[in-house]
Structure 1
Amino acid sequence: MHLTKTEPQGNMFRFYRMEIVRGLFGDWGLIREWGRIGSSGRVRTDWFDSEADAKDARFDLHMQKAKRGYE
C-alpha cells in the first residue's frame, strides 16, 4: 500500500508505504517506510503472531494516515 500527501503551498511532499511479509519463523511483519518523496525515507518493521493481526495493524495505520490527508 502506497500513500502520498502533497501540499505545494506548504512545501510538503510525503509518502507512506506499508507491506506485510512472512517471517522465517512463521510470524508476520508489517514493514513501514515513510519520508519525503524522492528520499529513501525511514523504515520500521513490527512483528505479529498472525497475518490477521498484521492486517489489522495495517488497517489502523491506514485510517490514521487518511485522517491526516494521505491518499
Structure 2
Amino acid sequence: MIELERCQPEKNMARYYRLEIECDLFGQLLARRTWGRIGRSGQSRSTPVASLEEAWAELRLWETRKRRRGYCDRP
C-alpha cells in the first residue's frame, strides 16, 4: 500500500491518496485508488489487472502523477 498526502493550510487543502492491490470476491486482481479530504471517507476506483506486475505498474504510474502534483509520503 502507498499512502500520500498533500497539505497546504494557506489554501485550506488537506488531501490524501491511497494506492493498493487487492483481490475481489471472484479472485480478480484489482489496483485500487482511494482519494479525498483527510478525515473523510473519500472516493475510490478499482482497475482490473491481469498480473501482480501489471498492478504494481499501474500503482507506480499513479504515484508518479500525484508526486508531480505535490503529494508526499504520509507520516
Q: SS of 1:40's equivalent?
A: coil
Deviations 1:13-67 (A, max 9, x none): 0000011013454531011110000110001111001111110010010000000
Structure 1: 4+ residue segments shifted above 2 A = 22-27
Match of 1:5 in 2: 6
Distance 1:55 1:29 in 2: 10
Q: Is 2:42 the counterpart of 1:41?
A: yes
Please report the TM-score for the alignment, with normalisation by the length of structure 1: 0.92
Question: Which amino acid is the alignment partner of residue 34 of structure 2?
Answer: E
| Aligned counterparts, 1:1-71, within 5 A | 1-71=2-72
Please report the TM-score for the alignment, with normalisation by the length of structure 2: 0.87
